[in-house]
Amino acid sequence: MTLQDGVTWLIVAGAVAFLVNRMVFAPRRKKQAADDKPDVPVTALVRKRPKR
Partner 1 sequence: MSRVRVLLAGNPNAGKTTLFNRLTGSTARVGNYPGVTVECSAGTLRLADGLSVELMDLPGTYSLSARSPEERVAVDALFARGEAQPAAVVVVVDATALTRNLYLALQLLETGVPVVVALNMMDAARKTGLAIDHEALSQALGAQVVPISAARGEGLDVLRGQIATCLGNPGERSAPSVAYPASVEDAVAVVSPAVADFQPDASAGSRRALALWALLSLGDDELVGVPSRLRDATAAARATALERATDLDQAIIAARYAWLDAAVTRSVLQPAKNERSFTDKVDAVLLHRFAGVAVFVLVMYVVFETLFSWSAPMTELIEAGVGAAQELVQRSLPPGSLRDLLENGVVAGVGNVVVFVPQIALLFLLLGFLEDSGYLARVAFLIDRVMARVGLHGKAFVPLLSGNACAIPAVMATRTIETRRDRIATMLAVPLMSCSARLPVYVLVIATVFSSDERVLGIFSQGALVLFAMYAVSVLATLSAAAVLRRTVLKGPRPALVLELPPYRLPEWRTLLRSTWERVRSFLVDAGTVILALTIVLWALLTYPKSDEVAARHEAERVAAASIADTGEREARMTAIDDSESGEQIRNSAAGRFGLALEPVLEPLGFDWRIGVGIIGAFAAREVFVGTLAVVFGIASGEDDPVPVSDALASATHSDGRKLMTPLAGLSLMLFFVFACQCMSTIAVVRRESGSWRWPVLMFTYMTVLAYVVSFSVYQLGSLMGWGLT
Report CA dihedral (32, 37, 40, 46) to the nearest 10 degrees. 170
What is the smallest separation between the CB atom of 35 and partner 1, expressed in angstroms?
9
| Alpha-carbon span 35 to 22, nearest angstrom | 19
- Using CB under 8 A as the binding rule, the residues of this chain from 1 to 52 that contact partner 1 are 2, 4-5, 7-8, 11-12, 15-16, 18-19, 22, 27, 30, 33-34, 37-50
Closest CA to 27 of 39, 37, 35, 16: 35
Positions in the binding site for partner 1 (CB under 8 A): 2, 4-5, 7-8, 11-12, 15-16, 18-19, 22, 27, 30, 33-34, 37-50
